[in-house]
């Protein structure tokens, strides 16, 4: 595609979204959000209503607590997830939305609301999870059944590796830090593990933790050896370029792997439920949505609410049906959403919404790489991570 075409398509996409927006906005509103297609669509619609300034930033979570603590808040609204909602709610930086929903939110689904003690603090736009994406052609050529558990997945990957039809049988977001830790979190939950004892001391140094590490090491041998720098985007590209045959990937990328504009294997990738561990599906359910700042005028909050409603209008969702697992009205689950729905219909649990998991996730993020590179054995790794969690949680005042 020539640059001019890209520009043109981009302009058309914005224009298309603007055409849907049945809204006029007179009050200046500023938004900050994560940066991926679903948010580009919603902020695009908001821009069409006028007087909206949007900032899309992958690292928005590092800004929002400080930005919303200011009075007046530097942004009128922000995107929010299970995890980023914790510090915002703790510091009381979000405006309860019940009155605004009563006035403007008749078109929203009640199951979009995030309620804390009966007060609605945020409105989810879409859900996200991780599930299997596989090359239908390769699996059927080799006569491999679609795997449903991680053990079957590894067995299938070994067959694909032996057949040598792709560079590497699988890809996985195992980038050092948050991603690598997230893989452990999902697998540990899949094994039925509990991260904490009743007094919030850590409990990962056990058989389940060892089983997870063993599996992660096994997965490492089936991937591009540079997997410690591979994040979700990297895996998406591996899939799009036909370098891998299977991946357990974020549902938000299901559209991209089959997008003919980006993918050389479009139409060949099929979605299936997340893979099971010993106890349950080793994936977590996330919600993604919007929340409005507490420290802004009522007028601005009302304008922000109207924009949120406009961005989730039925015609917007219908026009962008395959770009996310929308929770708003108008969504018809298609082939791209199949994996996510099967995962949710299974027994996958939500990513925990508490402060301790933040500290645990960091400790895992800096402690796991040494195991993957072979510098530490599994037992030492888990013991060191528990120690790192304790010292971190103590410094943050979470443990005595």
Minimum distance from residue 156 beta carbon to another protein (Å)? 23
Stretch that binds another protein, among 3-11, 60-68, 252-260, 270-278 (CB under 8 A): 60-68
Assess contact for 274 and 248: CB atoms under 8 A: yes
Q: Figure out which of the listed residues 77, 138, 301, 369 binds another protein, where binding follows CB under 8 A.
A: 369
- Would you count residue 83 as binding another protein (CB under 8 A)? yes
* Contacts with another protein, 2-41, as mask; x by CB under 8 A: ----------------------------------------
Residues from 256 through 285 that contact another protein (CB under 8 A):
285
Query: How many residues interact with another protein (rule CB under 8 A)?
Result: 71
Assess contact for 304 and 29: CB atoms under 8 A: yes
The total of other beta-carbon atoms located within 10 Å of residue 320's CB is: 24
Residues from 195 through 254 that contact another protein (CB under 8 A):
200, 224-226, 228-229, 234
- Would you count residue 356 as binding another protein (CB under 8 A)? yes
Distance in angstroms (rounded) separating the CA atoms of residues 158 and 139? 12
Structure tokens at 303: 């304008």
Distance in angstroms (rounded) separating the CA atoms of residues 72 and 66? 12
Q: Give me the phi and psi of 359, to 5 degrees please.
A: -70, -40
Minimum distance from residue 187 beta carbon to another protein (Å)? 17
Minimum distance from residue 364 beta carbon to another protein (Å)? 11
- Would you count residue 58 as binding another protein (CB under 8 A)? no
* Contacts with another protein, 107-136, as mask; x by CB under 8 A: ---xxxxxxxxx-----x--x-x-------
Distance in angstroms (rounded) separating the CA atoms of residues 155 and 144? 10
Minimum distance from residue 39 beta carbon to another protein (Å)? 17
Question: Angle, nearest 10°, between helix axes 3-20 and 37-48?
Answer: 60
Distance in angstroms (rounded) separating the CA atoms of residues 52 and 67? 17
Structure tokens at 190: 């899949």
Q: Figure out which of the listed residues 84, 130, 186, 284 binds another protein, where binding follows CB under 8 A.
A: 84
- The gap from C-alpha 172 to its chain's centroid, in whole angstroms, comes to 14
What sign results for the dihedral spanned by CA atoms 56, 59, 65, 70?
negative
Stretch that binds another protein, among 7-15, 35-43, 309-317, 342-350 (CB under 8 A): 342-350
Minimum distance from residue 117 beta carbon to another protein (Å)? 6
Assess contact for 54 and 78: CB atoms under 8 A: no
Assess contact for 283 and 131: CB atoms under 8 A: yes
Stretch that binds another protein, among 34-42, 274-282, 297-305, 358-366 (CB under 8 A): 358-366
Distance in angstroms (rounded) separating the CA atoms of residues 176 and 124? 29
**Adjacency order of strands within the sheet including 244-250:** 168-171, 244-250, 130-135, 269-272
- Would you count residue 90 as binding another protein (CB under 8 A)? yes
- Would you count residue 177 as binding another protein (CB under 8 A)? yes
Stretch that binds another protein, among 49-57, 94-102, 203-211, 374-382 (CB under 8 A): 374-382
- Would you count residue 389 as binding another protein (CB under 8 A)? no
25 versus 186: smaller Cβ distance to another protein: 186
């Amino acid at each position: 595609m020539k640059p001019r075409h890209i520009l043109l398509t981009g302009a058309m996409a914005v224009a298309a979204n603007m055409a849907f927006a049945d809204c006029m906005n007179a009050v200046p509103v500023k938004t900050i959000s994560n940066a991926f297609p679903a948010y580009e669509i919603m902020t695009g619609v908001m821009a069409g209503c006028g007087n909206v300034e949007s900032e899309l930033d992958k690292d928005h979570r590092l800004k929002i607590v400080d930005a919303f603590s200011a009075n007046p808040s530097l942004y009128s609204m922000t995107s929010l997830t299970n995890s980023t909602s914790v510090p915002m709610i703790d510091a009381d930086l979000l405006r309860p939305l019940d009155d605004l929903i009563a006035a403007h939110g008749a078109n929203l689904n009640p199951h979009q609301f995030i309620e804390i003690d009966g007060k609605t603090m945020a409105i989810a736009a879409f859900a996200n999870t991780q599930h299997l994406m596989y090359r239908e052609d390769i699996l059927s050529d080799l006569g491999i059944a679609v795997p449903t558990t991680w053990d079957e997945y590894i067995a299938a990957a070994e067959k694909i590796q032996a057949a040598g039809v792709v560079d590497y049988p699988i890809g996985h977001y195992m980038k050092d830090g948050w991603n690598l830790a997230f893989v452990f979190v999902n697998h540990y939950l899949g094994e039925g593990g509990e991260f904490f004892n009743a007094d919030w001391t850590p409990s990962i140094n056990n058989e389940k933790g060892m089983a997870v590490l063993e599996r992660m090491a096994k997965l490492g041998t089936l991937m591009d050896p540079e997997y410690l720098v591979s994040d979700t985007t990297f895996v998406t590209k591996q899939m799009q370029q036909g370098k891998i045959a299977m991946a357990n990937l974020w549902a938000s990328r299901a559209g991209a792997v089959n997008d003919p504009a980006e993918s050389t294997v479009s139409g060949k990738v099929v979605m299936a439920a997340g893979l099971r561990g010993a106890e349950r599906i080793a994936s977590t359910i996330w919600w993604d949505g919007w929340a409005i700042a507490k420290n802004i005028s009522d007028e601005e909050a009302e304008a922000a609410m109207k924009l949120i409603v406009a961005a989730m209008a039925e015609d917007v969702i219908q026009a962008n049906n395959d770009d996310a697992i929308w929770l708003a009205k108008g969504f018809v689950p298609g082939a791209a959403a199949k994996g996510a729905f099967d995962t949710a219909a299974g027994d996958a649990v939500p990513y925990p919404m508490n402060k301790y998991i933040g500290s645990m996730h960091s400790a895992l993020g800096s402690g796991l790489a040494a195991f993957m590179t072979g510098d530490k054995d599994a037992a030492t790794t888990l013991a060191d991570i528990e120690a790192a969690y304790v010292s971190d949680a103590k410094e943050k005042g979470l443990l005595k």
